Amino acid sequence: MRFEDFARLHGLILGDVTPFRWMATPTEDHPHKRNGRYKFMGDVGWVQNWATMDKPAMWKTDDRNALNPELQRKKLSFDSERQKLAKDAQSRATWIISQCQHQTHEYLAKKGFPDEESLIWNTDKGDKLMVIPMRFNREVVGCQLINEQGEKKFLYGQQTKGASFRIGAKGIPIFCEGFATGLSIRTVMQANKLECCIYICFSASNMQEICRHIPSGFVIADNDSNHTGESTAQKTGKPYWISDTVGEDFNDYHMRVGTFKASQSIKPLVYKSKPL
């Protein structure tokens, strides 16, 4: 089956297929919106209709010659462009970090940490952005920027796969998505008088990637309405915690129930885990 036919079976409307990057496209149920997405790699691809699918469906071809010379040329060009963008983003992140000061931030105050200081970039436009360095093999490759309203973004073109921010250097490895969640984990582990090494992974898919390389520890999952957090936690094969309330992450739970109850809720996972 051709990739275009596979996409059509899932309700996507495709014109000319752009290879090697995620592309938005209309769907049969929403023809005037870009409610679908696809990624075509020549011999493999993925499609997703946001209205009907929780995760992408994968297509594979049986054609051994699917990566024809034209596709191979485009792939080399795309890889070269991606490497240049990643290098530019790395330089940009290093510069941004050099402009930062340690200050409190409104976003962390809303998350229950009004006195917590983090790297803050006061931009020329008057924005006060919290900057979370993202490292791969101990090298800065990008950063996450969070404004005072809690809106988050990465630098254009930066490497995100496998990149993390770490809180703590030794102890039980704990994996989570967000920085505020990491701070709540640190608080409750300190209440339990236990050392930990917290990996802020920035997304569920990246958390799965990082967990592959660290054999021990446990996952703190977000209770997403589409079950992405729990599904990803299960795929890691590690023990995991998840809130009993849909829409909550561990920071939400911590603020709702307090440090003592939150610390008790993860104790069973602590006993199953070994420190680094």
For 151-187, how does the pLDDT look when each residue is reduced to its tens digit (9 = 90+)?
A: 999 999 999 999 999 999 899 999 999 999 999 999 9
Tell whether 26 is covered by a domain: yes
pLDDT of residue 275: 67
pLDDT of residue 274: 67
Domain termination site, one of 15, 30, 60? 60
> What CATH number does the domain containing 246 carry?
3.40.1360
Tell whether 78 is covered by a domain: no
pLDDT of residue 233 exceeding 80, the answer is yes
**High-pLDDT (> 90) share of the chain, %:** 80
Domain termination site, one of 44, 60, 76? 60
pLDDT of residue 273 exceeding 80, the answer is no
Domain termination site, one of 17, 40, 60? 60
Residues near 75 by beta carbon (within 8 Å), at least 6 away in sequence? 19, 20, 42, 67
Q: Average of pLDDT values for 208-221?
A: 95
Tell whether 48 is covered by a domain: yes
Q: Average of pLDDT values for 36-63?
A: 91
- Where would I find the H helices in 63-141? 69-98, 106-110
- Rounded to the nearest 10 degrees, how much is the dihedral formed by the CA atoms of 84, 90, 92, 98? -160
Tell whether 199 is covered by a domain: yes
Residue 79 neighbours by CB distance under 10 Å = 11
pLDDT of residue 197: 96
Q: Average of pLDDT values for 120-141?
A: 96
Q: pTM for the full model?
A: 0.82
Tell whether 257 is covered by a domain: yes
How many CA atoms does the CB half-sphere of 161 hold within 13 Å? 4
pLDDT of residue 276 exceeding 70, the answer is no
pLDDT tens for residues 246-260?
999 999 999 999 999
CA distance 120 to 158: 20
Domain around 44? 3-60
Tell whether 118 is covered by a domain: no
Domain count, the chain: 2
